[in-house]
Amino acid sequence: MSTDCTYCGSDVNDHDPVFVSERRGDDREETGRFCNYACLSAYIDEQNLVDGACCRIDV
Ligand SMILES: [Zn+2]
C-alpha cells in the first residue's frame, strides 16, 4: 500500500501520520493518509470537504 501523503505526496512514515477512513456498507475503506493534522486540515480546506457536511449546525 502506498504511504504517500494524500495532500502533499511525502512519505507519511517520516512524520506523525493521520489516517482517514470512510464507511462503505459494513466495511471501512481508507480514503486518505496525511503526514499530520496540518496536511489533513489543508486537504480538507482545499477540497471543501466540510461545506454543508456538519453533523450539528449551530449557526
Ligand atoms: Zn503531507
Domains of the chain, by residue range, sit at 1-59
pLDDT at 53: 72
* pLDDT value for 1: 65
CA of 52 to the centre of ligand 1 (A): 25
**Cα 22–Cα 32–Cα 14 angle in degrees, nearest 5:** 140
In order of 33, 48, 54, the CA distances from 58 in angstroms are: 30, 19, 10
SS3 29: strand
CA of 40 to the centre of ligand 1 (A): 8
Alpha-carbon span 14 to 2, nearest angstrom? 13
pLDDT of residue 54: 75
The rounded Å distance from CA 30 to ligand 1 centre is 16
Q: Is residue 13 pLDDT above 80, yes or no? A: yes
Give residue 23's pLDDT. 93
pTM of the model: 0.79
Per-chain residues with Cβ under 5 A from ion ligand 1: 5, 7-8, 10, 35, 39
Q: For residue 38, which phi and psi values (nearest 5 degrees)?
A: -65, -45
